[in-house]
Amino acid sequence: MSNIKSVRAREILASGGEPSVEVEVVLESGAVGTASVSYGVSAGSKEAFVLLDGDARRYHGHGMLKAVDNVNTKIAPLVAGKEAAGQREIDALMITADGTENKSNFGANAILGVSMAVARAAAAQQHLELFQYLRQAYQINLPNWNLPKPVAVFIEGGRHADKSTDLQEYALAAQKDQTAAESVRMMEEIYRSLKTILKEKNFSTNVGNEGAFAPEGIQSNQLPLELITGAITTAGYQPKTDAGIYIDAAASEFYQDGKYNLASESRVLTTEEIIQMYLDWQKNYPIVLWEDLLSEFDWEHWPVLMAQSPIPLVADDLTVTNVKLWQKAIDLKAANAILIKLNQAGTVTETVDCCLLANRHNYITIPSHRGGGETNDTFLVDLAVAVGSQYIKVGPTRGERVCKYNRLMLIEELLNG
Ligand code: PGA
Ligand code: ZN
């Protein structure tokens, strides 16, 4: 056990070339924990608050010096001298001192950076890997270490790419019962096959925010399903049983005046019509999970969709890793799986609590990277392993994405001794 000696934040760059926050926590014993915070580009409206400087002369207003300063001058004195292994207490202390519902006072980017770095320092202090430490610190009772399967975004559109599909993400979800390393290999082989198929069809193979292909002028929200199914087969795998398709529509982004505007196809659909479109797709393609098919402002229809969905329905913008919203979704039978993003919640404890709530209902948790503002931090992988998540959602390429797979494969090696 050891108390926190110092906390220091700095501005760093995230994957999109805009600033984020990195925090370093040092304990009296000398143990050190460092963490960096990611953020999204198609964020849900109720996510914890990302505090930006708003000074147009620096980074077009996206500087994070205010959040850095809040860590160094407000949060550091608050947590100094506290026992680092008391993660729940430290997170609660920061939440109370911030005093707002959405962490808009200190900024969730400030609070989360400290929360994650404290966990890392405490793990180092106890000579534990982060995933082992988190399982112990939150007294998570699971019989084994099941590793999450990759959900890898293969084709991206929406807010993540120009001139591509209206739906945001068409991903591959590994299904086969095999090692994490084999799942990663399978995923990358299918991704390569998809590249060949796109080239043959004269689509560009440029990649978007998450390292997924963002073919220009695709003009059909259904075509990616065809292309990815083809890629699974071409790579020598069985659609659905080895690998299936995962859709994240991010539908809040194209929900206008109570309807769904598929601009690339010049079609505007009612909720009933778009639900029918999804169900037809699911009959014809190997879709195994889907996320945010409806808008976060269309709560009433989520239970309608859920009642008809033959596969798990994942909530992201709807629930924003918020225990209250997730409980509401469970009560209303609006979703039975949840995307988990540390920065939507703003502390490690609240994030873990969302996962544990899912576990109590036997619902699926999917810790996820963020679109434009990802960092090289791999905390989400350890989190997924600690809480026993079924999947993690990451991109297939780019350093800030593949480092997550590398961490997962390392954890597998560590567990196998
Ligand atoms: P975001 O998108 O991180 O850009 O918000 C990812 C997602 O919606 O899952
Ligand atoms: Zn999403």
**pLDDT single digits (tens) 140-159:** 999 999 999 999 999 998 88
The residues assigned a catalytic role are: 210, 341
> CATH says 4-127 is which class?
alpha beta
158 Cα: distance to centroid of ligand 1 (angstroms)? 10
> Residue 163's pLDDT band (boundaries 50, 70, 90)?
confident
320 Cα: distance to centroid of ligand 2 (angstroms)? 9
- Domain positions in the chain are 4-127, 149-415
> Residue 296's pLDDT band (boundaries 50, 70, 90)?
very high
pLDDT for 209:
84
95 Cα: distance to centroid of ligand 2 (angstroms)? 25
Tokens of 294: 């409806």
Is the pLDDT at 162 greater than 90, yes or no? Answer: no
Rounded to an integer, what distance in angstroms lies between the CA atom of residue 287 and that of residue 105? 41
With DSSP H G I counted as helix, E B as strand and the rest as coil, what are the percentages for the chain, rounded to 5? 40, 20, 40
Instruction: Calculate the alpha carbon distances from 403 to 10, 44, 397 in Å.
Output: 22, 25, 9
pLDDT for 227:
97
- The strand pairing partners of 368, in sequence order, are 393
CA dihedral sign of residues 156, 158, 160, 163: positive
Q: Which ligand number lies closest to the CA of residue 151?
A: 1
Please tell me the least confidently modeled range out of 8-17, 142-151, 211-220. Answer: 211-220
* Residue 199: exposure state from Cβ atoms within 10 A (0-12, 13-18, ≥19): exposed
Report helix, strand or coil for 244: strand
Among left, alpha and beta (phi > 0; psi -120 to 50; other), residue 30 is: left
Is the pLDDT at 323 greater than 90, yes or no? Answer: yes
pLDDT for 355:
98
Radius of gyration (C-alpha) of the chain in whole angstroms: 21
| Most ligand 1 atoms within 8 A of CB, residue of 289, 368, 375, 398 to mutate | 368
pLDDT by residue (tens digit) across 348-392? 999 999 999 999 999 999 999 999 899 999 999 999 999 999 999
For the segment 323-345, the average pLDDT, to the nearest whole number, is: 98
> Residue 316's pLDDT band (boundaries 50, 70, 90)?
very high
Q: Which ligand number lies closest to the CA of residue 370?
A: 1
- Nearest ligand 1 atom, CA 42: 5
Instruction: Calculate the alpha carbon distances from 67 to 14, 19, 110, 111, 200 in Å.
Output: 15, 11, 5, 9, 47
Is the pLDDT at 161 greater than 80, yes or no? Answer: no
Rounded to an integer, what distance in angstroms lies between the CA atom of residue 241 and that of residue 286? 9
Please tell me the least confidently modeled range out of 9-23, 35-49, 70-84, 92-106. Answer: 35-49
pLDDT for 277:
98
- Nearest ligand 1 atom, CA 374: 3
Please tell me the least confidently modeled range out of 43-57, 201-215, 247-261, 305-319. Answer: 201-215
Q: Which ligand number lies closest to the CA of residue 372?
A: 1
The residues, any chain, with a CB within 8 Å of residue 196's CB and separated by 6 or more, are 234
Angle at 244 between CA 43 and CA 39, to 5 degrees: 15
| Most ligand 1 atoms within 8 A of CB, residue of 209, 316, 392 to mutate | 316
Of 275, 231, 232, 235, which is closest to residue 251 (Cα–Cα)? Answer: 275
At 35, give phi and psi (nearest 5°). Answer: -150, 150
Is the pLDDT at 216 greater than 90, yes or no? Answer: no
Question: What is the fold, at CATH topology level, of the domain defined by 149-415?
Answer: TIM Barrel (3.20.20)
- Nearest ligand 1 atom, CA 372: 4
Q: Are 198 and 231 in contact (CB under 8 A)?
A: no
- Indicate yes or no: pTM above 0.85: yes
Q: Atom 2 of ligand 1 has which residue's CA nearest to it?
A: 371
pLDDT by residue (tens digit) across 23-66? 999 999 999 999 999 998 888 999 999 999 999 999 999 999 99
In the structure, which protein residues have their CB atom closer than 6 angstroms to any atom of ligand 1? Answer: 40-43, 248, 250, 316, 339, 368, 370-372
- The single residue listed with the structure tokens 């207490």 is 89
Can you list the alpha helix ranges (DSSP code H) found in 290-341? 302-308, 323-331
- Nearest ligand 1 atom, CA 291: 9
Q: Are 218 and 259 in contact (CB under 8 A)?
A: no
* Count of residues making up the chain: 417
Is the pLDDT at 4 greater than 80, yes or no? Answer: yes
- Nearest ligand 1 atom, CA 393: 9
Tokens of 93: 């202390």
Q: Which ligand number lies closest to the CA of residue 43?
A: 1
| Most ligand 1 atoms within 8 A of CB, residue of 109, 341, 343 to mutate | 341
Share of the chain above pLDDT 90, in %: 94
Is the pLDDT at 295 greater than 90, yes or no? Answer: yes
For the segment 120-134, the average pLDDT, to the nearest whole number, is: 98
Residue 351, number of CB atoms within 10 A of its CB: 29
198 Cα: distance to centroid of ligand 2 (angstroms)? 24
385 Cα: distance to centroid of ligand 2 (angstroms)? 21
What burial letters (b/e) apply to 284-322, b meaning 16+ CB within 10 Å? ebbbbbbbbbbbbebeebbebbbeebeebbbbbbbbbbb
389 Cα: distance to centroid of ligand 1 (angstroms)? 18
Is the pLDDT at 238 greater than 90, yes or no? Answer: yes
pLDDT for 201:
95
> Residue 79's pLDDT band (boundaries 50, 70, 90)?
very high
Report helix, strand or coil for 160: helix
> Residue 218's pLDDT band (boundaries 50, 70, 90)?
confident
- The strand pairing partners of 207, in sequence order, are 213
At 57, give phi and psi (nearest 5°). Answer: -80, -15
